[in-house]
């Protein structure tokens, strides 16, 4: 080593004095933790290291250089698996494929292949999802209803909707006081009643039946009120709000994780 201290061979056995032990402890703990930080950083592993202090006190110094806190890792050890954080330092805004520096950091062909593969897969998944949307859309109701005519809404689609089996989608709309909106709903209902659902503040005025169905109908994200077509025209192209496509949700969550958890 060219720098500062010389590299002496130290016998690996317990140090004699308390001071010696304390010194060794502080120095070595520092390197230990920085090495575990490196390991975790470079290989994306989730690590927790626990070290007691050499005094007689039951103090504990811990490093959770991993991507999660030490307590989390401890809990996971006693229960199940950890949520891995393998995501690289991708760009914080936008999607990973819009990053202009995506290719500049690639040193060899294999990395470019990896990127190409990822992009292809993403595209394929999106195409599949679009196809599914096209096929299973039942009816697209574009209404300019009077928001006060709640009774009208109830009987609406029972006649016009095709009977569906398995997982299917229904797009039905109602006009809220704030404007026109359409819901994209993913339903797994076999025998469920097909009834429309009014928007937020109008829900109260809807008769009982509808409210019951609402509990069966699982609208994830539909309360936001943004329709499929609106979103498609947005910047946020792939934010389909029904959680149908796992890949897309991954990317979204991806970025959220990075934003919230990047150290």
Residues in contact with another protein by CB under 8 A are 1-3, 10, 12-15, 21, 24-25, 28-54, 58-66, 69-71, 73-74, 76-78, 81-82, 84, 86, 88-89, 105-106, 108, 110-111, 114, 263
Rounded least distance, CB 238 to another protein, Å: 24
Q: Which is nearer to another protein, 234 or 262 (CB)?
A: 262
Q: How many Cα atoms are found within 13 Å in the side-chain-facing hemisphere of 168?
A: 19
Q: Which is nearer to another protein, 79 or 208 (CB)?
A: 79
Query: Rounded distance, CA 188 to CA 168, Å?
Result: 6
Q: Which is nearer to another protein, 57 or 162 (CB)?
A: 57
Rounded least distance, CB 246 to another protein, Å: 19
Q: Which is nearer to another protein, 20 or 205 (CB)?
A: 20
Rounded least distance, CB 121 to another protein, Å: 16
Rounded least distance, CB 225 to another protein, Å: 38
Rounded least distance, CB 98 to another protein, Å: 18
DSSP 82: P
Query: Rounded distance, CA 247 to CA 129, Å?
Result: 10
Rounded least distance, CB 69 to another protein, Å: 7
Query: Rounded distance, CA 26 to CA 240, Å?
Result: 52
Q: How many residues are there in the chain? A: 263
Rounded least distance, CB 103 to another protein, Å: 12
Q: Report residue 174: phi and psi, to 5°.
A: -150, 165
Rounded least distance, CB 20 to another protein, Å: 9
What does the block give as tokens for 52?
A: 């007691």
SS (H, E, C) 122-155: HHHHHHHHHHHHHHHEEEECCCCCCCCCHHHHHC
Give the pairing of strands 168-176 and 179-187: antiparallel
Q: Which is nearer to another protein, 40 or 171 (CB)?
A: 40
Query: Rounded distance, CA 222 to CA 157, Å?
Result: 19
Q: Which is nearer to another protein, 62 or 161 (CB)?
A: 62
Q: Which is nearer to another protein, 38 or 209 (CB)?
A: 38
For the chain, the first-to-last Cα distance in angstroms comes to: 31
Best CA proximity match to 170, nearest among 185, 156, 159, 180: 185
Q: Which is nearer to another protein, 83 or 243 (CB)?
A: 83
Measuring CA to CA, how many Å separate 56 from each of 30, 53, 130, 201? 20, 8, 65, 64
Query: Rounded distance, CA 220 to CA 242, Å?
Result: 6
């Amino acid at each position: 080593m060219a720098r500062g201290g010389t590299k002496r061979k130290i016998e690996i056995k317990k140090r004699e004095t308390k001071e010696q032990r304390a010194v060794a402890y502080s120095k070595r703990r520092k390197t230990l933790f920085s090495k575990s930080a490196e390991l975790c950083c470079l290989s994306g592993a989730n690590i927790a290291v626990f070290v007691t202090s050499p005094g007689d006190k039951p103090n504990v110094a811990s490093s959770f250089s991993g991507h999660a806190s030490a307590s989390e890792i401890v809990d996971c050890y006693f229960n199940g698996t950890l949520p891995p954080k393998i995501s690289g330092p991708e760009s914080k805004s936008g999607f990973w494929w819009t990053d202009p520096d995506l290719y500049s950091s690639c040193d060899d062909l294999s990395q470019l292949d990896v990127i190409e593969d990822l992009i292809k897969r993403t595209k394929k998944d999106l195409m599949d999802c679009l196809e599914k949307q096209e096929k299973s859309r039942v009816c697209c109701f574009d209404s300019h209803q009077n928001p006060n005519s709640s009774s009208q809404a109830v009987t609406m689609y029972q006649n016009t909707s095709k009977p569906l089996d398995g997982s299917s989608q229904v797009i039905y709309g109602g006009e809220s006081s704030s404007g026109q909106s359409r819901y994209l709903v993913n339903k797994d209902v076999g025998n469920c009643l097909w009834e429309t659902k009014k928007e937020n503040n109008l829900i109260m005025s809807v008769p009982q039946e509808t409210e019951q169905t609402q509990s069966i109908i699982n609208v994830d994200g539909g309360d936001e009120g943004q329709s499929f077509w609106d979103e498609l025209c947005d910047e946020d192209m792939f934010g389909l709000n029904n959680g149908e496509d796992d890949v897309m949700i991954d990317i979204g969550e991806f970025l959220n994780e990075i934003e919230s958890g990047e150290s």
